[in-house]
Amino acid sequence: MNLIIPENYDPVLSTRQTQEAIKYIRDTFQKEFGRALMLERISAPLFVERNSGLNDNLNGVEQPVSFDIKDIPNDPIEVVHSLAKWKRMALKKYDFNIHEGLYTNMNAIRKDEEVDNLHSYYVDQWDWEKIIEKDERNVKTLKYHVKKIFKVIKHMEHEVWYKYPKAVNRLPEKVHFITAQELENQYPELTPKEREDKVCKNWGCVFVMQIGDHLKSGIKHDGRAPDYDDWQLNGDLLFWYEPLQCALEISSMGIRVDENSLVEQLKKENCEDRLQLPYHQAIINKELPYTIGGGIGQSRLCMLLLKRAHIGEVQASIWPQDMIEQCQKNNIPLL
């Protein structure tokens, strides 16, 4: 069992106060976030048809929860892992214009997840996507949107402090940018996770860029599906999290693949068979807009702002019995 128990942990707020705080953070953040990035809230599916190619393959080994529907034979239905591909299709379907975008509540089940303080079988996040020009597919555009998101999170810190001054977590003043290769060059003796912890402890908040491809060492910093993020124009937003003494990922985001990077990345992963799927064909034929997008963890954000020791304190999920018992013994109230 991977469980960290902070010494002398005090959640500060009662369970009912925590529920109130969760609602306040979620309601306030999504409004400010949508306004800052010019995003419109829309509804999104919980499941998609497997043959559509719209589901997120994550690292390629996680199996989605699937089931059959009697009126749609010979095409299993999958609970989404994320909406990374669906959102890009939706932008075209709903006639969004350049520099307009959408966000939605994304709920997923990741049954193969290894649960711990930060990871749950249940995933809840704000998924967002925005149309950009082709010549805006660059690092400048990526950093601009990262800074916008960071600014909204910082503003939420002040909002939460005003209502819950004894419970709020104090965040750094700016975000530091570094590529996965630069991180490996600095700390070649460390694992990718250890590198993230090291750089986050030094800077407080870090955006690690260019994730998915092999580094010079021959390993990957982390796995990424080859058919939504452009591996040269993506990254993870991480905060140093003092209660657990580790990096806490709040968002994974990036500029999406175009017709060239899609083919290149599928070749690298030996997944060229996907090019025949409707979604991939639409990219190859330049039928979909060029976009930037990502996900922001709702429970992760609440956990960060409220200094909680376990994600189960801010979301209702299920946990191994021994984890439940250890949390009860150490004043960690799981919902």
What are the tokens at 271? 């997944």
List all residues 6 or more positions away from 89 whose beta carbon is below 8 Å from its beta carbon: 54, 279, 282, 288
Phi-psi label, residue 184: left if phi above 0, alpha if psi -120 to 50, beta otherwise: alpha
Beta pairing, strands 72-79 & 291-297: unpaired
Helix, coil or strand: residue 111: coil
Point out the catalytic residue in the list 120, 210, 252, 315.
252
Q: Catalytic site residue 252?
A: yes
Helix, coil or strand: residue 328: helix
What are the tokens at 135? 């010549």
Q: Catalytic site residue 56?
A: yes
- Contact indicator for 262, 290 with CB cutoff of 8 Å: no
Distance, CA of 295 to CA of 86 (rounded, Å): 13
Q: Catalytic site residue 50?
A: no
Q: Catalytic site residue 133?
A: no
Neighbours of 322 (CB within 10 A): 10
Distance, CA of 120 to CA of 100 (rounded, Å): 32
Distance, CA of 266 to CA of 262 (rounded, Å): 6
Point out the catalytic residue in the list 229, 236, 258, 313.
236
Q: Catalytic site residue 249?
A: yes
- Contact indicator for 205, 238 with CB cutoff of 8 Å: yes
Point out the catalytic residue in the list 32, 249, 259, 264.
249
Point out the catalytic residue in the list 110, 137, 195, 256.
110
In the DSSP assignment, the letter for residue 257 is: P
Question: Which positions are catalytic?
Answer: 56, 110, 125, 236, 249, 252
